[in-house]
Amino acid sequence: MVDYIIVGSGLAGIAFAETLLQNNKSFVVIDNHSQNSSRVAGGLYNPVILKRFSQVWNANEQLQLADVFYKRIEEKLVVQVDFKLPIYRKFFSIEEQNNWFAASDKPALAPFLSTSIIHKKYAAIDAPYGYGEVLHTGYLNTTIFLDHYLKYLRLNNWLIEVKFEHSALLTNEEYVEYMGTKARHIVFAEGFGMHANPFFKHLPLDGTKGELFIIRAPDLDLDVIINTSVFILPLGNDLFKVGATYNWEDKSNTPTEEGKQELVERIKEIISCDFEIVKHFAGVRPTVKDRRPLIGTHAKYKNIHILNGLGTRGVMLAPALALDLYASIEEGKPLEKAVDIKRYNITS
């Protein structure tokens, strides 16, 4: 008997596994690598929604928890995964500059928006109106993070790399049983794969496909993340991650010609130097209609839980939500209504 079975080893599943380790609970993780949202993600964390100049929901708390969480993993696995880097928003007009200053006056945004215009020159970027700098930003290199954490799970025999078949789950008052493994609880962290899960099929997980590139651009001397219609993130050695597109129709993980054309056009709007596409990825973000995560406990089965709906912000959300779900299961601490799946309980 283990304490938990976790289905999914993306950002959500890993955050929950790590929370269990911190609390001396035993677990196994099951994953068949059928979804890759966490692996392909840009990995940016940014407390400000730049399109609307509003603070990300619960940004302060999430940033603080994420900082501690990723630092602890870096120390444990002896690898850097969290790269603190400024995000620059390029201004296209005086009006945009004025909007930035107005936003930076708001108490919720003041800690995150610098109040001076940056006129740094990058050879391949024309920015006559300068940039605004968002503070407390950076990116998680999700490929390094997943590679190292999955290796750590494998070394400890905590990872089973097979497809989870929901029909084989046996439920019981005190425990669940899956293929001979008994567990006090099961947590589903399947990302967009949730659509195959009969226990949570009533939840409105939407799914928004995104495509990204890694490009090589030797003449792009960028040392910060630029975020306008797409982000450009320097990886070193003349390589940059660029993304992402948003597609609400196609729910596959396959890169498309359409996505490629869109990204190429967007890149050309920002940089004037040559670039070569080194890799082209795609994944489906587990987005929700009301833009809030889906966490909590099944209405009928008290030992079946979900950690999903991390949407476009898995890096910041995962550590905080894993803690909240854990406290709700083990300590009976109520979840915030905005994220609790109870908001979708069928009442009739």
Ligand X SMILES: Cc1cc2nc3c(=O)[nH]c(=O)nc-3n(C[C@H](O)[C@H](O)[C@H](O)COP(=O)(O)OP(=O)(O)OC[C@H]3O[C@@H](n4cnc5c(N)ncnc54)[C@H](O)[C@@H]3O)c2cc1C
Query: Could you list the residues that contact ligand X (CB under 6 A)?
Result: 7-13, 30-35, 37-38, 40-45, 163-164, 189-193, 196, 210, 212, 243-244, 283, 285-286, 308, 310-316
Per-residue CA distances from 332 to 25, 111, 315, 327 (Å): 17, 34, 25, 6
Ranges assigned E (strand) in 54-207: 54-55, 82-84, 87-90, 131-134, 138-140, 159-160, 169-171, 176-178, 181-188
Q: Enumerate residues 6+ apart whose C-beta is below 8 A from 336.
A: 324
Q: Whose Cβ is closer to ligand X: residue 130's or residue 185's?
A: 185
Tell me how far, at minimum, the Cβ of 96 lies from ligand X, in Å: 22
Q: Whose Cβ is closer to ligand X: residue 38's or residue 328's?
A: 38
Q: Enumerate residues 6+ apart whose C-beta is below 8 A from 330.
A: 23
Q: Whose Cβ is closer to ligand X: residue 179's or residue 196's?
A: 196
φ, ψ of residue 264 to 5 degrees: the values are: -60, -45
Tell me how far, at minimum, the Cβ of 312 lies from ligand X, in Å: 5
Place of tokens 């929700």: 288
Query: Tokens at residue 154, please?
Result: 């494998």
d(CA 61, CA 57): 9
Tell me how far, at minimum, the Cβ of 97 lies from ligand X, in Å: 25
Q: Whose Cβ is closer to ligand X: residue 103's or residue 321's?
A: 321
Tell me how far, at minimum, the Cβ of 190 lies from ligand X, in Å: 4
Tell me how far, at minimum, the Cβ of 292 lies from ligand X, in Å: 13
Q: Whose Cβ is closer to ligand X: residue 40's or residue 224's?
A: 40
Query: Tokens at residue 144, please?
Result: 């390094």
From the list 333, 285, 328, the residue with the least C-alpha distance to 309 is 285
Q: Whose Cβ is closer to ligand X: residue 10's or residue 296's?
A: 10
Q: Whose Cβ is closer to ligand X: residue 130's or residue 210's?
A: 210
Tell me how far, at minimum, the Cβ of 253 lies from ligand X, in Å: 9
Tell me how far, at minimum, the Cβ of 134 lies from ligand X, in Å: 13
From the list 304, 296, 294, 307, the residue with the least C-alpha distance to 186 is 304
Q: Enumerate residues 6+ apart whose C-beta is below 8 A from 56.
A: 46, 47, 48, 49, 62, 313, 316
Q: Whose Cβ is closer to ligand X: residue 130's or residue 242's?
A: 242
DSSP string over 218-254: TT----SEEESSSEEEEEETTEEEEE---BSS-----
Tell me how far, at minimum, the Cβ of 187 lies from ligand X, in Å: 11
Is residue 91 within 8 A of residue 130, CB to CB? The reply is: yes
Query: Tokens at residue 98, please?
Result: 């004025």
